[in-house]
A and B are shown apart, each in its own frame.
Chain A
Amino acid sequence: MMKNYGKAANKLDPSRFAILSAGQLEDIHRATLALLSNTGVQVDSKKARKLFASAGAKIEKKKAAKIVKIPASLVEECINSAPGYQTYRGRLAKYDYRAEAGSYSFTTFGECTGIIDLKTRAVRQSAKDDCCQSALICDYIDAVKVVERPLNPSDCPVATQPLHNAEAIFSNTAKHSFIGPGNAESLKRMAKMAEACAAGSENFKDRKIFTATVCPLSPLTLGEDCCEIIMEAARLGIGLLIFTMPLAGATSAVTMAGTLVALNAEILSSLVLAQLAARGTPCTYGSAGTIMDLTMVDAALGAPEMAVLSAAAAQLAHCYNLPSLVCGGMSDSKLPDAQTGYEFSYSAMLCAMAAGNFISGMGVLEKGITFDYAKLLMDAEMADYIITAASGIDTSPENLALGTIDEAGPGGEFLTHDHTYNHMRSQSTVEKFDRRKRQDWLEAGGKDLAQKAYEEAAHILAEHKPAPLPGKAAEIMADIIRQYEIELGIGK
């Protein structure tokens, strides 16, 4: 898989497939502007409220909360000042990934708190080692262009978990990553760690190797840390992934349209704050909206509503000329079984058709809380299928092949024709999915897909080496974390 890194991006005409018609998109946009100016959003940071107020937003007190009502003109002006589609820089230039209108790729979903242990196959809490290993496998998988931090290092002190996670990810992949810094202070330290890792590479001063993830709270709330991170990232010139997760029926309206409007409002209000803090701050539009299953009273991430919201969100983001990260391919199953395969396939396919730039959900089981290596690698193989299927059919004269068909003639064959030889590599191939005859499959051990995927994971972990960190980056990262832990009174 690794050999294909950097090949032409998977790209579609974004207008080819649409969940929402042009009229519906306009309805959602208008409704969002009305919601932001009439109902407004709760903003928990005083500094952020000041910024909003200075730009013409109205601040109102509603019980204990401070509501910011944002005029439509300000929202639209800020959408225009965001830089739009962008390049996500890796530690090395060859890992740079340019997200464009119509391009799509696949990634993990952060952050799972549990993992199916590769050796024992039992579920346990995830630890820092798991953060390292999952990042290493993401480094290997070609379909992953940017790594969304997959796991939580629960064996590290809570206050510095984001830094430990960043250390694990920066050390094990040279690809760009999305990481939630937790708070602004932590973000500053993470930025220093990232700088040390990009040292010496091309344009290293502008080389921001991670994007800071922030999560507005549904419904319609920008918490204090969320605001502080947005403003700090803007100051540091670090991009933001604004990732919101309304749950229809619980933290947003039960209907899809109502949820989409709220999701859009939460993202756009955060984007306005980022642009007010520093014009030109890169923003990625992130959707994890889905339903609260009102029978189970729990979020459902394999649900079709999540897929349709994600596809619609990708379309909205495209209208705003913004890159998108949308959830697709997650499963509510507890193990890498048939449910998992179905849930990944249909929803990731829908998101790919909608050209979500980062389709987030690889490796994720159990409503986004449990990570599994088998699912990660099964998903990687399915991603290759999706890329082939979503690419459609090339109808150029070379592909119509009339000359070739004529040469072979009725009753002829194509196996030995040059045209076949020249185009054979365009065919899909399999690594773990099995197309062999039963006897051959049995002779090779008769293993099911999940078993093969676990074995592949062990093999990658043993063999794959990420591009090495420059000079003293490892020591600098360790020092930054140690120093912060001492300051917080949790260090040794």
Chain B
Amino acid sequence: MYEYEAISQTVIDGDTERTIQLIEKALKQGFLAEKILEEGLIIGMNSVADKFKHQKVMIPEVLRSTRAMHAGMVTLNSSLQKSHKLEETTVFIGTVAGDLHDIGKNLVKMVLASSGVEVIDLGIDVSVKKFVQTVRKEKPQYLMMSSLLTTTMPVMREVIEELENRNLRSGLKVVVGGGPITDLFAAEIGADLYFDDPFRLREYLMEQHRPR
């Protein structure tokens, strides 16, 4: 019991070295990797997410925690059975054409990666064509688009229209986000989901893809 709590605390503190140390020790002592993940790392990260939601921590602290979480996942990796469904979730992300502002997109990437979701980054200034080709080829579960400029927001609508024209919407969830994006705008352009911070997105994914 105590071991899990201690591991959670290292995630909360963003103490990467200690996270690795404690996990290695716990594995040696015979604790199950799945339990370390669920009751140590994830509980710690949930606590950080909750604090962030209530403005009790600042983003640089959160990023330290995500780094510790990620290092913990890597440490556990060989011992984890691949039944953890979050790991099977396929996500592509990109900042839309005309927009070079990717700090929000990168935050999403970091937060999701720390929870074991593999995010494939299409980068910045991603064209409608590129988004559509990626969906056709890779058939991901999620396509995430970000924009910061109000002038680039309409590109999101174009991508969604193009996906519909080519019948590529089934089995795909389009997620949009970024500074000027609101849930109203997301609904108007036909996006499936909108989140205003990476933790709400993470919360949603954990809920949807929780091992059952």
Contact B196 A440 (CB under 8 A): yes
Return the contact of A439 from the options B63, B107, B183 (Cβ within 8 A): B183
Closest residue on chain B to residue A440 by CB atoms: B196
Q: Does B103 contact A (CB under 8 A)?
A: yes
Check A416/B196 contact, CB under 8 A, given A439-B182, A439-B183.
no
Contact A415 B196 (CB under 8 A): no
Point out the residues of chain A lying under 8 angstroms from B38, CB to CB: none
Point out the residues of chain A lying under 8 angstroms from B34, CB to CB: none
Contact A415 B61 (CB under 8 A): no
Point out the residues of chain A lying under 8 angstroms from B63, CB to CB: 415-416
Point out the residues of chain B lying under 8 angstroms from A424, CB to CB: 58, 60-61
Point out the residues of chain A lying under 8 angstroms from B173, CB to CB: none
Closest residue on chain A to residue B194 by CB atoms: A439
User: Complex: how many Å from CA A4 to CA B37?
Assistant: 37
Contact A421 B196 (CB under 8 A): no
Point out the residues of chain B lying under 8 angstroms from A205, CB to CB: none
Point out the residues of chain A lying under 8 angstroms from B55, CB to CB: 429
Contact B103 A420 (CB under 8 A): no
Return the contact of B61 from the options A421, A427, A429, A440 (Cβ within 8 A): A421
User: Complex: how many Å from CA A420 to CA B62?
Assistant: 12
Closest residue on chain B to residue A417 by CB atoms: B60
Contact B182 A415 (CB under 8 A): no
Contact A413 B64 (CB under 8 A): no
Q: Main secondary structure on chain B at its contact with chain A?
A: helix
Return the contact of A420 from the options B60, B67, B183 (Cβ within 8 A): B60
Q: Which residues 59-75 of B sit at the A interface, judged by CB distance below 8 A?
A: 59-61, 63-64, 67
Q: Does B46 contact A (CB under 8 A)?
A: no
Return the contact of A437 from the options B59, B67, B103, B196 (Cβ within 8 A): B196
Check A437/B60 contact, CB under 8 A, given A415-B103, A429-B55.
no
Q: Does B106 contact A (CB under 8 A)?
A: yes
Distance in angstroms from B105 CB to nearest chain A CB is 11
Point out the residues of chain B lying under 8 angstroms from A62, CB to CB: none
User: Complex: how many Å from CA A425 to CA B60?
Assistant: 10
User: Complex: how many Å from CA A416 to CA B103?
Assistant: 11
User: Complex: how many Å from CA A374 to CA B122?
Assistant: 49
Contact A415 B183 (CB under 8 A): no
Point out the residues of chain A lying under 8 angstroms from B64, CB to CB: 421
Point out the residues of chain B lying under 8 angstroms from A413, CB to CB: 103, 106
Distance in angstroms from B148 CB to nearest chain A CB is 14
Size band of the interface chain A makes with B: 10 to 19
Return the contact of B60 from the options A416, A429, A438, A439 (Cβ within 8 A): A416
Closest residue on chain A to residue B62 by CB atoms: A415
User: Complex: how many Å from CA A427 to CA B59?
Assistant: 12
Give 1 or 0 for each of A102-137: 1 = CB within 8 Å of chain B CB: 000000000000000000000000000000000000
Point out the residues of chain B lying under 8 angstroms from A437, CB to CB: 182, 196
A-B contact count (CB 8 A): 28
Distance in angstroms from B12 CB to nearest chain A CB is 15
Closest residue on chain A to residue B200 by CB atoms: A440
User: Complex: how many Å from CA A420 to CA B103?
Assistant: 15
Give 1 or 0 for each of B103-130: 1 = CB within 8 Å of chain A CB: 1001100000000000000000000000
Q: Which residues 94-152 of B sit at the A interface, judged by CB distance below 8 A?
A: 103, 106-107
Distance in angstroms from A440 CB to nearest chain B CB is 7
Distance in angstroms from B210 CB to nearest chain A CB is 24
Give 1 or 0 for each of A415-442: 1 = CB within 8 Å of chain B CB: 1110011001101010000000111100
Distance in angstroms from B95 CB to nearest chain A CB is 13
User: Complex: how many Å from CA A421 to CA B64?
Assistant: 9
Point out the residues of chain B lying under 8 angstroms from A417, CB to CB: 60
Point out the residues of chain B lying under 8 angstroms from A438, CB to CB: 182
Check A439/B61 contact, CB under 8 A, given A415-B103, A415-B107, A429-B55.
no
Closest residue on chain B to residue A427 by CB atoms: B58
Closest residue on chain A to residue B183 by CB atoms: A439
Distance in angstroms from B176 CB to nearest chain A CB is 14
Point out the residues of chain A lying under 8 angstroms from B60, CB to CB: 415-417, 420-421, 424
Point out the residues of chain B lying under 8 angstroms from A440, CB to CB: 196
Give 1 or 0 for each of A269-287: 1 = CB within 8 Å of chain B CB: 0000000000000000000
Closest residue on chain B to residue A435 by CB atoms: B55
User: Complex: how many Å from CA A440 to CA B183?
Assistant: 11
Distance in angstroms from B93 CB to nearest chain A CB is 16
Point out the residues of chain B lying under 8 angstroms from A421, CB to CB: 60-61, 64
Give 1 or 0 for each of A154-196: 1 = CB within 8 Å of chain B CB: 0000000000000000000000000000000000000000000
Closest residue on chain A to residue B196 by CB atoms: A437
Point out the residues of chain A lying under 8 angstroms from B183, CB to CB: 439
Give 1 or 0 for each of B26-65: 1 = CB within 8 Å of chain A CB: 0000000000000000000000000000010011110110
Distance in angstroms from A416 CB to nearest chain B CB is 5
Distance in angstroms from A452 CB to nearest chain B CB is 14
Point out the residues of chain B lying under 8 angstroms from A420, CB to CB: 60
Q: Which residues 288-342 of A sit at the B interface, judged by CB distance below 8 A?
A: none
User: Complex: how many Å from CA A415 to CA B107?
Assistant: 9
Return the contact of B59 from the options A415, A429, A439 (Cβ within 8 A): A415
User: Complex: how many Å from CA A437 to CA B182?
Assistant: 9
Distance in angstroms from A460 CB to nearest chain B CB is 19
User: Complex: how many Å from CA A420 to CA B64?
Assistant: 11
Point out the residues of chain B lying under 8 angstroms from A429, CB to CB: 55
Point out the residues of chain B lying under 8 angstroms from A427, CB to CB: 58
Point out the residues of chain A lying under 8 angstroms from B58, CB to CB: 424-425, 427
Closest residue on chain A to residue B67 by CB atoms: A416
Distance in angstroms from A456 CB to nearest chain B CB is 15
Closest residue on chain A to residue B106 by CB atoms: A413
A-B pairs with lowest CB-CB distance, top 3: A421-B60, A424-B58, A420-B60
Add 8 more A-B contacts to A416-B60, A429-B55, A440-B196 (CB < 8 A).
Answer: A413-B106, A415-B103, A417-B60, A420-B60, A421-B60, A421-B61, A438-B182, A439-B182
Pairs across A and B, CB under 8 Å, 7 listed: A413-B103, A415-B63, A416-B63, A421-B60, A437-B182, A437-B196, A440-B196
